[in-house]
Structure formats: structure tokens, C-alpha cells
Amino acid sequence: MEKLLNISLLLILNSVATSQPVTDPVAFLRCLERQPTDPASPNSAVAYIPTNSSFTTVLRSRIPNLRFDKPTTPKPVAIVAAATWTHIQAALGCARELSLQVRIRSGGHDFEGLSYTSTVPFFVLDMFSFRNVDVNVTDGTAWVDAGVTTGELYYRIAEKSNVLGFPAGLCTTLGVGGHFSGGGYGTMMRKYGLSVDNVVGSGIVDSNGNIFTDRVSMGEDRFWAIRGGGAASFGVVLGYKIRLVPVPEKVTVLPSEEPSEKEPLIL
């Protein structure tokens, strides 16, 4: 009985030991190199670790809140600036192998620091290279990558049509990946609903590295969850297929000022 207890205790200790996160940046790079890769774009080629001269520049390039840019702010073990699906799969594989938390950053104005800070060992999966917008005027849809900002989306739509638009935020520095996954409200909400009400498809890589390129393959439950439920809880969103909405060719804006106490509003 005592021997059995000793063996059980040893197994428990080994399990705890192997679950501890590996925080050595070099070990993270080696892990990326062990993952399946595209010879034309090796996994380690898109990774930045603190010893790289450009690490700080890449990290700070999307930190809009200086409160999270202090020497005492916990820094990621690495930044993976994914440019292909393979890079994302490799990064998630190392997250599992090294017990590291993943922070997904789509490039918008995250003032809360949720996409680039953490209280536990982590790395940043940066999606700023996913910036394609493909507008199809014929069927009134568009594919927009997760790293695109709303301003870029509006611009690409306007290039193709002056009578089509999309209901999303007014601020042009919003990242589509975070904005849509949180619901997405804006000036056209009363007429057309939230952004996610007009999302008709998506692509996602789940935590096991499986790729789902459309709504059918991922299933309706997952598709529902990533539209407003915080997509990072379910995987890494590659992009969204959106339904464009009709808008007037010309819009008239009538600015008004609130009356002061001395000048009451007379109705």
C-alpha cells in the first residue's frame, strides 16, 4: 500500500512539473521549428523574442494605452506575427506543448491591454498581416481578414461602390477581429443591427490547430459563439464574410448644439 502511494505521489508530482509553463524564448523558437511549416515561410521567421532588435518596436506598435507600456508591465515570451494559417497552427501547437497562454491581437485600439498583457506567462499571436478585403459587389458581400481595421474596410467598400456600406463602429482604428467578435455596434445599428447580425460566414483555427474555412465546417454552435461571445475563447478567427447593406449615395448631416441653461430649447 505504501509503495502504491509513493508511485501515485510521483505521478502527481511529474504531472504538476510538466504542466509548468516554459518561459524561455529560445525554447519557444525551437518549439516553432519542430512544428509543421511551409518551406517558403518558416515558422521561426515570423517570431520575435526579446533579444531581437525589433521586438520592442513590434510590441509597442499596437499598444495605444501607455499605461501598459511600462518597464513593470509583464512582457510576452515572444510575438508571432502570423502571415499564414501554418504559422497560427504552429503557435497554438507550442501553446499546448509549453503551457503558455495565447493573447490574440488583431491590430485595433485595445485600450484595456487584453490582447498584449497577461498575469501569467504568455505570447502574443499578432494578426496584423491578415489584411485582405475582397469586396464582391455582384452578390453584395465581402471577405475581410481579422487584421483589418474598420477604416480600411470602409475604404475598400467605397472603392467598389458608393451605394453599399457596412454597419460597424464610427472609429476607423477599430480592429475587425475584436470588434466583430464582441458584437460591433455603430451608427447604422438602428436600421441594420449589429455588425454580427450581418456576418454570414467566417474562418477559424481552433485550439487543436484544426482549420474551419466556412460556416458549415465549423458548425452553427461555434459560428454563433464567435459572433459576440468573444471569439478568442473558441479559437483564432482568420476573417469574416459579411453582408453589405444599401446606403444613400449622398448623406446630409445637420449638426446641432445643445442649448445652454440661458438658452432653453423651445419645442
Q: Could you tell me which CATH number the domain at 133-246 has? A: 3.30.465.10
Q: Is residue 252 predicted with pLDDT exceeding 90?
A: no
Predicted pLDDT of residue 260:
61
Instruction: Specify the domain boundaries for CATH 3.30.465.10 within the chain.
Output: 133-246
Per-residue pLDDT of 68-90, as tens digits, reads 999 999 999 999 999 999 999 99
pLDDT single digits (tens) 114-129 = 899 999 999 999 999 9
Region 204-220: mean pLDDT is 93
What are the CA-CA distances from residue 127 to residues 3, 71, 105, 108, 109 (Å)? 51, 25, 6, 10, 13
Collapse the DSSP code of 81 into the 3-class scheme (helix H, G, I; strand E, B; otherwise coil) and give the result: strand
The CA R_g of the chain, rounded to the nearest whole Å, is 23
Residue 96: the pLDDT is 95
pLDDT tier for residue 157 given thresholds of 50, 70 and 90: very high
Give the range with max mean pLDDT: 18-27, 54-63, 105-114: 54-63
How far apart CA 222 and CA 159 sit, in angstroms, is 32
Answer whether CATH 3.40.50.300 is correct for domain 2-126. Answer: no
Residue 2 has pLDDT above 90, yes or no: no
Which of these ranges, 80-89, 95-104, 223-232, has the smallest mean pLDDT?
223-232
pTM of the predicted protein model: 0.83
Neighbours of 119 (CB within 10 A): 7
Calculate ∠ Cα 180-183-184, nearest 5°: 65
Q: Give the DSSP H/E element, type plus range, for residue 252.
A: none
User: Which part of the chain is CATH 3.30.43.10?
Assistant: 2-126
- C-beta separation of 127 from 107 below 8 A: yes
Q: Output the pLDDT for position 242.
A: 97
Nearest to 89 by CA among 35, 129, 127, 28: 35
Q: Please compute, for residue 58, the number of CA atoms within 13 A of its CA located in the half-sphere on the CB side.
A: 25
- CB atoms < 10 A from the CB of 208, how many? 10
